[in-house]
Amino acid sequence: MPIEIKFNAQGQSLGLRLSRSFAPTLKEDPTEAEVISHKLLIRAGFIRKLSAGIYSLLPFGLRSLRKLERIIRQEMDRAGALELLLPTVQPGELWKESGRWKYYGKELLRFHDRHNRDYIIGPTHEEVITDLARREIHSWRDLPMNLYQIQTKFRDEIRPRFGLMRGREFIMKDAYSFDADEAGAEQSYRAMYEAYNLIFQNCGLKFAVVEADSGAIGGSSSHEFMVLAKTGEDNLIFCDCGFAANQEKAELKDYATLAPEEMNQALEKIYTPNCHHVPELAALLDIPTGRIIKTLAFNAAGNPLLTLIPGDRKINLTKLKNACNGAEPRLLTPEETEKITGAPLGFIGPIKTKLRVLADLGVKRLDGGVIGAGEADWHYRHARPDRDFKVNQWLDLAIAENGDPCPRCGQPLSTQRGIEVGHIFKLGAKYSHALGALYSRADGLEAPLIMGCYGIGLGRTLAAAVEQNHDHNGIIWPLPLAPYEAAVLPLQVQNKNMTSAAETLFQELLNARVETVLDDRDERPGLKFKDADLIGYPFRITISEKSLALGQVELKRRNTQEITMLPLTSAAAVITQLRNETGITA
Ligand SMILES: [Zn+2]
């Protein structure tokens, strides 16, 4: 039966016969894949690896990507942003002007052209867009302006893993706003904040927005959009009051410690042979781990230092880095620790040390505990700050944990894992200063353009959608991102009546603009079911000899696993209605 072809908003055909498709599915997990989205996107025939961190999108993968692009474009355009397309290859000169030629490191893929001029493959486009702005934006009348593109980028990651989650070549939506002043830049930022919320809502994803830098006065100048998934690489902290932050950066105020020790107990040296670790020491002394003051030795920009923290807490390296004026702290090796402190790891301590001591405020509240004696096999008990050892700086150094008090309202925090898919950021005049992007104000004076930048990783968003929505059988696409919304499965293609019923239903669904595949392959029913579950079509419609005899089809929803029998004659209408209730239409 000839099928009348219909097209969606991207000009793509709404329907596909699987006998004519290119969606090579695999029975087994590919060996190189470590994360679920990587395994499932390969197995379901969405992507194939070409080289380390470089993937081909097969037709189903590209269809999902195009749907995501459409969702992004709609909200960007609604917010007043204008789409353009900048080159992938950029002259090295621009990066020398901005200073990033020197600082970007090996992630920047550099090469020479035939005239021996420096070029790079763009990992990001601040330089190129600022160059365009300095040439073309001259007056306050041109502002505000927000320009965006959806484009392939390249970052030469040292260990690209996890498929689309962290490739070397990847597709990004990046936007750059230009404003006359800070107030305008704030408005542009808020508009993108709202647009991003709508984008991830329209994708049908569960997500959270977290402040990307903690403790910023007068509101954060950077937010991360996180798809929530148990397998996410970021730990997030939430409170019912609306506070949300990355655990790496979440500030922490007055979390609970053990009660202070009795005031009058004298410092006492105790023999603790071979007790290198907090749990062993706590067991030997029969005390809670929270009574031990853990000492760690770091090196930050060539300066060794000691940190103190209660034994039941973990140190937050981002907070330590901030305390070291941005120098990356590196934990000393056991050999370095012994050389610099004179004691083996596990026995070092702040008493009589010459090193700078940074202590978590929890140690102050604890006010007395067990601490390394600074010599092998010995500790002190009842050690109290100020009386027995000196602290150069008290600060918040601990990682916020489940149940700790919210820094805003004091209620207990909860934790969840997430995957960063979007990031919005105020750039200020950083690039307009460096590249001289100035405009004339209404009073005739010249001023630098105030910029913001706004990114979404598209491949990463698709991977995150899979991490959030899957089961042991395969992907469970949220309807807006599914390559096709429905699959019609006639189980015996030699049966002419069955084939004809399936093709009629296929045509009815296409007429109703439901994106549908017809599994007309001459394959076992088991394989058709397995592929449908693996690929993750939201609606699976099966026609068997038994159902056909009753004039019915079986509808299975991929997300709820719910099965219903529908009359063949009204099946298309019911499925169309269910689709329209859930999502975006073609
Ligand atoms: Zn709160």
- The pTM of the full predicted model, rounded to 2 decimals, is 0.84
> If we measure between CA atoms, which residue out of 347, 384, 350, 380 comes closest to residue 366?
384
Q: How far apart are CA 25 and CA 247, in angstroms?
A: 38
Residues contacting residue 178 through CB under 8 Å, at least 6 positions apart: 133, 137, 143, 144, 145, 146, 147, 449, 450, 451
Q: How confident is the model at residue 33 (pLDDT cuts 50, 70, 90)?
A: confident
Q: Is 552 helix (H, G, I), strand (E, B) or coil?
A: strand
Whether the Cβ atoms of residue 508 and residue 572 lie closer than 8 Å to each other = yes
Q: What percent of the chain has pLDDT over 70?
A: 98
Label residue 220 by pLDDT band (50, 70, 90). low
Q: How remote is the CA of residue 230 from the centroid of ligand 1, in Å?
A: 22
Q: What is the pLDDT of residues 411-434, one digit of tens each?
A: 999 999 999 999 999 999 999 999
15-31+484-582: which CATH architecture?
3-Layer(aba) Sandwich (3.40)
Q: How far is the CA of 365 from the centre of ligand 1 (A)?
A: 22
Q: Tell me yes or no: is domain 61-87+122-234+418-464 CATH 3.30.930.10.
A: yes
Measure 405 CA to ligand 1 centroid, in angstroms.
Answer: 8
The mean per-residue pLDDT over the stretch 173-184 comes to 97
Looking at the DSSP bridge assignments, the partners of residue 423 are: 224, 455
pLDDT in tens, 275-304: 999 999 999 999 999 999 999 999 999 999
Please give the distance, rounded to the nearest whole angstrom, from the Cα atom of residue 251 to the centre of ligand 1. Answer: 12
**CA–centroid distance, residue 158 to ligand 1 (Å):** 39
If phi over 0 gives left and psi between -120 and 50 gives alpha, with beta otherwise, what is residue 326?
Answer: left
- Does the pLDDT at position 512 exceed 90? yes
Q: Is the dihedral of CA 273, 277, 280, 283 positive or negative?
A: positive
- For residue 239, report the distance from its CA to the centre of ligand 1, in Å: 5
Render pLDDT for 102-112 as a digit per residue (tens, 0 to 9).
Answer: 989 999 999 99
Check whether 500 has a pLDDT greater than 90: yes
Tokens of 313: 């807490």
If you count them, how many residues does the chain have? Answer: 586
Of 53-67, 334-348, 572-586, where does mean pLDDT reach its minimum? 572-586
Of 205, 251, 249, 241, which is closest to residue 223 (Cα–Cα)? 249
- Portion of the chain with pLDDT greater than 90, in percent: 84
Tokens of 234: 């970021």
Distance (Å) from CA 257 to ligand 1 centroid: 20
CA triple 4-9-11, angle to 5 deg: 60
β-strands 486-490, 470-471: how paired?
A: unpaired
208, 466, 580 from 475: Cα distances, Å: 22, 6, 21
Is the pLDDT at 218 greater than 50? The verdict is: no
Question: How far is the centre of ligand 1, averaged over its atoms, from the C-alpha of 247 (Å)?
Answer: 14
* DSSP code per residue over 21-32: ------SS--TT
Sheet with strand 118-121: strands edge to edge: 89-91, 118-121, 109-112
Q: Please check whether residue 236 is in contact with residue 209, taking contact to mean a CB–CB distance below 8 angstroms.
A: no
Backbone angles phi, psi at 177, to 5 degrees: -105, 150
Q: What share of the chain is helix, strand, coil (3-state, %, to 5)?
A: 30, 30, 40
How much is the pLDDT for 205?
Answer: 97
pLDDT category at 32 given cuts 50, 70, 90 is confident
Mean pLDDT confidence for 385-400: 94
Which CATH number fits the domain 268-395, given the four candidates 2.120.10.10, 3.40.50.11900, 3.90.960.10, 3.30.70.20?
Answer: 3.90.960.10
Query: What's the CA gap between 539 and 458, in Å, rounded?
Result: 24
Residue 412 CA to ligand 1 center (angstroms) comes to 7
Map residue 319 onto helix, strand or coil.
helix
* DSSP code string of 72-138: HHHHHHHTT-EE----SEEEHHHHHHHTHHHHSGGGSEEEE-TT--EEEE-S--HHHHHHHHHHH--
Q: Domain segments of the chain: what residues?
A: 15-31+484-582, 61-87+122-234+418-464, 268-395
Strands 54-57 and 470-471: unpaired
Return d(Cα 484, Cα 487) in angstroms, integer: 7
pLDDT for 314 equals: 94
Between vectors from CA 371 to CA 368 and to CA 377, what angle results, nearest 5°?
A: 150
User: Quick one: pLDDT at residue 263?
Assistant: 77
pLDDT of residue 411: 94
Strand partners, 16: 517
